[in-house]
């Protein structure tokens, strides 16, 4: 499996010289299973660059197919969707999965972003590509691009955010963006989802200090990310969804802090890195 990072920032895109190295686009990660196909995790503004790169292949000829998994519908996870160019090419097919009480409600949420007062295209139907939308039933694994995907809701905001575990031929990647565990740490169901993963991409919005200061915002600090990685016994942790105000130097410090915390708390064997826009990883 190959994982690529297109947007690694939380809340709102943060352009400017201070964020050039880690990147300022909001959340979007792509995953290419070894068996072919494409899975897109969240559609923050990073999705625009992903879309443009896809246009060089089958999507540019209207023969592309991908599945999009949406953790939740806060802006920084869907605001790149209207700017994802392959959606405008008839013949391309997209299967969208996300958390909502029904598929119709999930469609309504995406339609809400396209409405004429906000966006000139006005409706999903004007986009051109084939789009089908399905709400995820948490208890049931789904088959996506030859992989098995399981989802769990982490505490975040009013409705929570889905974390996804994607498995292919014994390899596993977990995407857990936007998780506000609170004082109790990760719940058992989340730890079970993370268990033994080859790669855990985890919300690391804050330093431990900012995490305490903004405890009500529903995000993880690096301390929470480290706790999740250790409890789940994962092989590798990637920090993700940095606060919009953190400069590259501050994210460097965040990564160093996470390494120290891992070493101190029994996670010495866990590999660690900070997500960088434009970087790829192979599992």
Partner 1 sequence: MRVRFWGVRGSLPVPGPKTERYGGNTSCVEVRSGAGTRVVVDAGTGIRKLGKELAEDEAGRSDVHLLISHTHWDHIQGLPYFSPLYQRGNKLSVYARKRDDLHLHAVFASQTDDPYFPVPFAEAQAEIAFRELSDAAKFEVADVKVACARLNHPYIATAYRLTADGASVVYVSDTAPFSDILFEDEFVERPPSPGAELPAKDRQKLAKMRDGVVRLCQGADLVVYDTMFTAEDYKRIPHYGHSRPSDAVDICREAGARRLVLFHHAPERSDVEIDGILADARALAAQDAAGLEVEAAYEGLEVEIGKR
Which residues lie near partner 1 (CB under 8 A)? Answer: 9, 11-17, 19-20, 23-25, 45, 48, 72-75, 78-80, 82-83, 100, 109, 112-113, 116-123, 126, 157-159, 217-218, 244, 277
Q: Whose Cβ is closer to partner 1: residue 244's or residue 273's? A: 244
Angle (CA) 53-55-58 rounded to 5° is: 120
Q: Measured from the CB atom, is 12 or 34 closer to partner 1? A: 12
- Least gap, CB of 112 to partner 1 (angstroms): 7
User: Which residue, 194 or 246, has its beta carbon nearer to partner 1?
Assistant: 246
CA neighbor of 274 nearest in space, from 249, 264, 80, 160: 249
Smaller CB separation from partner 1, 121 or 191: 121
The end-to-end CA distance of the chain, in Å, is: 5
Nearest distance in Å: CB 235, partner 1 = 30
Smallest separation (angstroms) from partner 1 to the CB of 261: 27
Q: Which residues of 181-200 are buried (b: 16+ CB within 10 A; e: fewer)?
A: beeeebbeebbebbeebbbb
Minimum distance, C-beta of residue 123 to partner 1, in the bound complex (Å): 8
| Per-residue b or e along 44-79, where b marks 16 or more CB atoms closer than 10 Å to that residue's CB | bbbbbbbbeebbeebbeeeebbbbbbbbbbbebbbb
Nearer to partner 1, 47 or 270 (CB): 47
Residues 6+ positions from 127 with CB-CB distance below 8 Å: 87, 88, 114, 121
Report, in Å, the least distance between residue 128 CB and partner 1: 10
- Complex with partner 1: residue 75 or 171, whichever CB lies closer: 75
Distance in Å, CB of 59 to partner 1, minimum: 17
């Amino acid at each position: 499996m190959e994982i690529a990072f297109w947007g690694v920032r939380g809340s709102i895109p943060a352009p400017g010289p201070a964020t050039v190295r880690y990147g300022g686009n909001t959340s979007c990660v792509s995953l290419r299973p070894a068996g072919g196909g494409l899975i897109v995790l969240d559609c923050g503004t990073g999705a625009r660059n992903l879309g443009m790169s896809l246009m060089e292949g089958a999507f540019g000829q209207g023969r592309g197919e991908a599945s999009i998994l949406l953790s939740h519908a806060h802006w920084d996870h869907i605001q790149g969707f209207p700017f994802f160019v392959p959606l405008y090419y008839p013949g391309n097919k997209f299967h969208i999965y996300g958390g909502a009480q029904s598929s119709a409600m999930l469609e309504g949420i995406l339609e809400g972003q396209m409405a004429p007062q906000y966006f000139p295209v006005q409706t999903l139907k004007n986009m051109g590509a084939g789009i089908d939308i399905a709400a995820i039933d948490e208890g049931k694994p789904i088959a996506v691009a030859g992989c098995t995907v399981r989802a769990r809701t982490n505490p975040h905001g009013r409705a929570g955010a889905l974390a996804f575990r994607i498995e292919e031929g014994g390899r596993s990647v977990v995407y857990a963006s936007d998780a506000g565990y609170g004082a109790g740490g990760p719940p058992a169901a989340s730890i079970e989802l993370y268990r033994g993963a080859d790669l855990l991409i985890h919300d690391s919005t804050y330093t431990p200090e900012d995490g305490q200061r903004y405890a009500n915002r529903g995000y993880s600090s690096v301390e929470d990310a480290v706790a999740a990685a250790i409890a789940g016994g994962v092989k590798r942790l990637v920090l993700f969804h940095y606060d919009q105000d953190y400069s590259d130097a501050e994210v460097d410090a965040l990564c160093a802090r996470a390494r120290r915390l891992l070493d101190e708390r029994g996670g010495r064997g866990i590999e660690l890195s900070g997500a960088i826009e434009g970087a790829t990883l192979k599992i």
